Structure formats: structure tokens, C-alpha cells
Amino acid sequence: MNRIISENGLALIKRFEGCRLTAYQDSVGVWTIGYGHTLDVSKGRTITQQQADHYLRADCANAEKAVNRYIHIYHWNQNQFDALVSFTFNCGSGNLRTLLNGGTRSISQISEKIPAYRKAGGKVLQGLVNRRAAEKTLFDTPVAPAANLSPSPTYQKPVSYLQTDPRWKTHNYSAKGEQKTIGSSGCGVAVSAMVIASLKDPAVTPVTTAEWSMSHGYKALNQGTYYSYLYHHFSSNSLTCERLTQANLYGKSTSAAHEKALLALQGGDWVIACMGKGNWTSTGHFILLYRFESGFVYINDPASTKETRLKSTWDLFAGQVKYMWVVRVPNKMASRPDM
């Protein structure tokens, strides 16, 4: 199965990329911020360190995908995978293909070739010499046998809140000009309450999150909760929340976003999903996925305790989801499976 980069691999990339929280132009004039992030960056933009870390994980996705294309040939261990994601992040997938000679080189031959990629603009740069040396060292470092095992992960199950709980179902959750309640419109804040109560503060309830949402303008008139609410409320609680796509996925069962969500679940992280018409809703509805096993996803649904809504095949879920966010579970109990 596919792998994702470890914290050790991210640390290597961070060390050589450096981090700048104010937008700058790189050597060829491209506006850049954080750890080499270039998407939607313009002059004068600033970000937080947490946003920089968020962008780095998102930007690693393409490099991870490129290295995973060869995993059926090489069965990378985690150190080899991390080293090559760093290499690809810096050099691109075309140079990865050349390094591997399309998957025909041996592991030892790949190791020998890594240091050759040390030039930019035809000149040898000491920074690239140092980076290639660090990547080669990591690539060559054995992984303890226990780290290569693929135990069945143990999953951290979040607390479950129902938006229709009598304790808060009639609590106000309204934008200006309407009269709504948590029970009628609070699936988004109920899901966020599950996450924050489980990972940060057990005292948090849907009342807490609804009040925060309204006070910050995230209640949508005659609808539910604005999508941007999730990132900002979790950030205020020092939790990482990554939106996987801006495009509506409804009716599509496969995409890069689906793949990344599945990898996150397999690694012990959680996925918030806004569902379209089908098994969970006739309009739109937020749910929380916390486990994937044997083709099934396990769900906290803030509007139901029906078994068919709490456990589903991945294929059924994937065909009905519209948007997804990954929530990183700090100090996760789950061991990442061999991907």
C-alpha cells in the first residue's frame, strides 16, 4: 500500500527549504511563502507558522504520489520513501523518473546516483550538495524491523455529539435575519465540537462551537456553516485542518482528494466530510470519519445513530461526498500502517 511522508521526512525538507512567513520573490521572480509554497501567493501576503506547516503537507502530496508510483517495484521502507519525497519536492517528478531510470535501477544504484543532482542553472550549488548528501544518508539508513511491520492500527474514536441532543438542540444558531437552532442547522458545529472535545478540551460542546461560529460570522444565512469555518476554528485551537479540494466531488468515486483522505484515515487521522444527496442527507450534511478497515469507513454522524450511517463501504461514501477536510490527530494512538 502507498506511504505518506513521516515527521522525520518533513523535518528534512524544512531544514533545507527554510521558512519565510512573508511573501518574497524567488530567484526567477515567482512569489513564494512558507516552505517554498507558490499557489495563490502575492506581494505583501503574510501567514502563520501553522499555515506554513499546513501548506508544506499539502505541497508534499504530488511528490508522495510520484514516489508511490514505484512502490510496487521497490517496496520502499519509510526512510527511502522520505528521502525520495524530499528529492522530488526539490527536483520534480521528471528527475525522480530519471533517477530511478523508470524503475529499472536497483536500490544501491539509486543511492549512488542521488548526489549527482546538485546543479542549478548549470552550476554546482553547495546547498544542493548538502541536501543530496542528507537525502542519501536517510535513504541508506536501515529501518528497524519492527518499524516495517504492518500491525492492525488501533484507532482513536472521537466523542460523539448529536445536534438533536435535548441539551442543545433548541440553542440558537442563526445568522442575522433568520431563526435557526443547532438541531436544525448545526451539523457543522456539532462535528467540530466532537473534534475539539476529543483532542483539546473535553468541556467543549456544540453550544461552544456554535457561539464561536456565530460570533465570527461563519453561520450562513438560510443554510448551515460556511466551509471556511472549519480551518479557522481548528487553527484557533492549534489543530491542523486541511481542505482537500475546492471542487465538488459529488458523483466521483476516485480523485487525488479521495486518495489523500483514505491515506489519512489509514494513518490514524480523521476526515470531515460534507455529504451530498444520498445515504446521509437530501441536501448537505457534515459527518466525521475516524477509521478505515477492510473496505469500511466508521463515522460519527451528528444527526443519526443508524448503523447504516455510522458504518459504510468506502465506495458508497466516496460517491456521495462533496468536500473533505483532513484533521491531523496529534500524538495519535494509531500506528501508521505500511503504506
Catalytic residue numbers read: 17
Question: How far is CA 246 from each of CA 273, 285, 320, rounded to the nearest angstrom?
Answer: 13, 17, 16
Check if the beta carbon of residue 322 is closer than 8 Å to that of residue 248.
Answer: yes
Radius of gyration of the chain (CA): 22
CA neighbor of 44 nearest in space, from 22, 59, 65: 22
- Angle at which helix 78-91 crosses helix 7-17, to 10 degrees, equals 30
Q: Backbone phi, then psi, for 33, in 5-degree steps?
A: -155, 165
**Exposure string for 43-56, b = 16+ CB within 10 A, e = fewer:** eeeebeeebbbbbb
Q: Specify burial of residue 39 (Cβ count, 10 A radius: 0-12, 13-18, 19+).
A: exposed
CA neighbor of 57 nearest in space, from 211, 243, 190: 243
Check if the beta carbon of residue 184 is closer than 8 Å to that of residue 175.
Answer: no
CA neighbor of 250 nearest in space, from 274, 231, 220: 274
Question: How far is CA 279 from each of CA 207, 317, 334, rounded to the nearest angstrom?
Answer: 27, 8, 28
Place of cell 523508470: 102
Cell readout for 75 is 517496496
Check if the beta carbon of residue 170 is closer than 8 Å to that of residue 179.
Answer: no
